[in-house]
Chains A and B, each alone.
Chain A
Amino acid sequence: MYDLLFQITLFLYIGATVGFVMHVVTLKKGVRKVAFAILGTAFSLHTILLLLRWLAAGHTPLVNLHESLSFFSWSVAAFFMLFQWKERVRALGAFVIPLATFGMLGAAFYSRKVAPLPPALQSWWLPVHATICLVAYGVFTLAFAIAIMYVIQERQIKKKRLGAFFKRLPSLQTLDRMGQLCLKIGFPLLTLGIITGSLWADSAWGSYWSWDPKETWSLITWLLYAALLHQRLAVGWRGRRAAYMTIIAFGVLLFTFLGVNFVLPGLHSYSTWYE
C-alpha cells in the first residue's frame, strides 16, 4: 500500500515537473493550471503518505534517508505553493519542482523498511529537531532556485543577449526580493534547528556539542547564511553577489544534509543503520 502510493506520488511529481517546464516553453495559461493541479494532487497524496508512514512506524518518520528525503520534498512543495499564493513569480515552478522531484527520486532509491528506532533517537526532540531542519532546507532550496533564476536573467541583461529566458523569467528585483524573503524565513529556522539539535544532543549523549561532522558542517552552513543575511541587511548587498552566495551556501547545505552521511562517519550517519 505504502509502496504503491509512493510510486504514484513520485509519478505525479514528475508529471508536475514536466508541466511546469512545458509552461515555461509554451507560456500557455492552461498548461500552468494543469501543472498546478497535478502538483496539488501530488502534494495531497504525499501528505497522506507521510501520515500513513507515521502511523505504521509509531514514531516520527524522519529517521532514515528515505523518510528525510521524502519529507524534504514535501516541504519544498509546500513552500513553493505558499509562495505562489503570496506572490506569483513567473517560471518559479519550472525551477523548484524539479528539485522536489529529485528529492523524491532520491527517496525512491533508499530502503523503505520501517525499523525499530535506535535508543539514541527515542525522544520527543526527534520530531522537533528533524522537522525544523528539513523545513529550513526546503526554504533554502527555494532560495537556491530563485538565485539560479536571478543569475540566468542577470547574465542576459548584463551581456545584452536577450534570449528565450528574458521574456520568461521575472524581473531581477522581484527575484532578489523573493530570495531575501526566503533567507529571512530560512535562517531563523536553521538557527532553531541547530539549537534544538544541541539540546537533544545534551539529553541523549550528555554534551551540547561534540564536533561531530554533521554538527561541524551545520555550523559552517549556518555561518554562511548568517554572513549572507548580515551583508544583505546591514550593507545592502543584493543582486548578483547575493545570488551567487545563495548558490554556494546551498551547495554546503546539501553536503551537510546528504554528503556528510556518506563521506564522514559520525553520530548523525543514520542512513547506514538501515542499509
Chain B
Amino acid sequence: MNRPQIILIGVNHKTAPVEIRERLTLEGDLVQSLALLKSLPEMDEVLFLSTCNRVEILAAAQNGSQALAALMKLWTEKSGLAVSELEKGLYVRKDNEAVAHLFRVASSLDSMVVGEPQILGQLKDAYRSASDTGSTGTVLNRLLHKAFSVAKRVRTETAIASHAVSISYAAVELARKIFGELNGKTAMLVGAGEMAELAAQHLKTHGIKRLIVANRTLERAVQLSKELGGEPIGLDEMDDALIEADIVISSTGAPGTVISGKRIKKIMRPRRHRLLFLIDIAVPRDIEPEVNKIDNVYLYDIDDLKGVVELNKSQREKEAKKAERIVEEEVIKFEQWLESLEIVPVIQKLQKKAENLRQRELDRSMKALKELTPKQKKAIETLTRSIVQKILHDPIITMKNGAKNGCDNKALLESACRLFKLDTVKDEKIAPSKEKRNT
C-alpha cells in the first residue's frame, strides 16, 4: 500500500557552471540516457531533462532513498565527477518539493529569463521521449500533464509572459501605446539589419497595412521588400515616404546622421501633425536626438528601448510572485491525487470481494429457485447487486473523502483491510486503467 515517492535531482544555471552541467548529460543521446536510467531496478518511472541551462532527473520509486542512491552512483560513474563535486551544485527534492520544483520549471519561474516560454517546449520534448520509450507510468504521466496545465494557468492568469523582454517587442508595445491598433498604419524600414527586420515582421503580425523599405542601394531595397512584403524606395525618395509613414525603424550602417531634426520639422505640416514614432536601432545613431523635442514626434534609440525592456523585467518579477501562489495551490492538488492512489487498490479489492461473494451466494440460491421466470431471476439479480452497492457505498465514500480532506487515511485503509479481510496490496503495481479514471 506504499504510495510511490517522487524524487527530482539535478543542477541548473544557478547552482553549477556549464563545465559541470555538460558532464552530467549521461549518454549523448536522450533515448540512450533514458534506457540507462530505466535499467536501474530501483526506478519505477523516470524522466530525463537536459537543456542548456539545466540537467534534471525526475523519478518515481517505491523506495526513494534507494533510488536516490542508485541515481547518484550512476551519475558519478558516468560523469567521472567526485561525489563531493557533484553534490556541491546538486539539488535533491522529494515528493511535494519535487512536484513544486517541476511546476516551477514548467512555468518558467526557474528560468534564467523568468517567463520565457522555451523551457516548456523542452520539457514537453523530454516527456515525449520518456513516454515513447515507456519510461513513464501512472505517476509521472499524471505529474507531467499537470505540470503542463500549471504552466498554462500561469501563462493565462499572470502577466508573466506578456512583458516580453526583446527589443523588437518593446518597440511594438510602444507603437501600440501611441497608435492604439496598428491596422492601417504604415511603417518604414530605413537600412537593413537583423533587429530591424525582426521588428518589421513583428509589426506586420500586428496588422501594419504598408511597409516601405528604404535603402541606400535600390537593389538591396528591392530584395528586402520581397522578403518582408514591402515597397522598395531609394533614400532620395524618403521625404515623401516620411510624410506617409507612422512608424520608422532606422538601422543603417551610416557613420553620420540620416534623418535630421530639420527634416522632420519640415514634414510635420504636410503630415498634418500626425503622430510619428521613430525607432533608431543603429549604432552610431541615424536620427538626431533633437527630433524627440518636436511635438507629436517620439524618438526611441536602442538605449531607450533597453530601458523599456528593463522595466518589463521588473514587472515580470512581480507577476512571478502570483505564479508562485498558483504553483503552491497545484502542488496541494497533486498531493491529494497521490494519496488517492493508495485508496484505489483497496476500493477495488473491496468491490471485487463483495462481487465474488454475491455471485457465489446467488448461484447457490438459484439452484433452489429453478421455477422462477427469467424476469424474476433478473429481478433477484438486480436486488442482490443493489444491496451490495448500498452497503459498500458509505465505506468507499469515506475512504475517498479521507484522501481529499487530508486526514490520516493510512489508519483508515488499514482498518478497512482488516475489517473486510482484504489481502494487502503492497507489492501490487497500480493498474494503468486508473490513470484514465483520474485524469
Contact = CB atoms under 8 A, between A and B. Distances in A.
A173 B292 CA distance: 18
Nearest to B300: A160
Contacts of B105: none
Contacts of A176: 275
Given A157-B174, A160-B300, A171 B180 contact: yes
A239 B295 contact: yes
A170 B300 CA distance: 20
Contacts, number: 50
Given A160-B300, A238-B296, A241-B295, A171 B273 contact: no
A237 interface: yes
Contact of B177 (A171, A235, A238, A241): A171
Given A157-B174, A239-B275, A170 B298 contact: no
Interface in B241-289: 271-275
B30 interface: no
A212 B220 CA distance: 70
A243 to B, nearest CB: 11
Contacts of B304: 160
Contacts of A160: 300, 304, 307-308
Contact size class for B?
Answer: 20 to 34
Contacts of A162: 308, 311
Given A153-B177, A173-B178, A237 B307 contact: no
A227 B298 CA distance: 26
A158 B292 CA distance: 7
Nearest to A159: B292
A72 to B, nearest CB: 30
Contacts of A166: 177
B176 interface: yes
Nearest to A177: B180
Nearest to A231: B273
B179 interface: yes
A172 interface: yes
A59 interface: no
B203 to A, nearest CB: 15
A171 B181 CA distance: 9
B176 A171 contact: yes
A238 B269 CA distance: 11
A239 B296 contact: yes
A240 interface: yes
A240 B295 contact: yes
A236 interface: yes
A238 B179 contact: no
Nearest to A239: B296
A162 B304 CA distance: 11
Nearest to B296: A239
A20 B272 CA distance: 35
Nearest to B311: A162
Which of B179, B272, B275, B300 has the most CB atoms of chain A within a 10 A radius of its CB? Answer: B275
B204 to A, nearest CB: 19
B292 A171 contact: no
B178 A236 contact: no
Given A238-B296, A239-B295, A241-B295, A174 B180 contact: yes
Given A157-B174, A241-B295, A170 B180 contact: yes
Interface of B: 174, 176-180, 271-275, 292, 295-296, 298, 300, 304, 307-308, 311
Interface of A: 153, 157-158, 160, 162, 166, 170-174, 176, 235-241
Given A157-B178, A158-B292, 9 more contacts: A157-B174, A158-B298, A170-B180, A171-B176, A171-B177, A238-B273, A239-B273, A240-B295, A241-B295
16 contacts: A153-B177, A157-B298, A158-B292, A170-B180, A171-B176, A171-B179, A171-B180, A172-B178, A172-B179, A173-B178, A173-B179, A176-B275, A236-B271, A236-B274, A239-B295, A240-B295
**Which 5 residue pairs across A and B have the least CB separation, nearest first?**
A236-B272, A171-B180, A239-B296, A174-B180, A173-B180
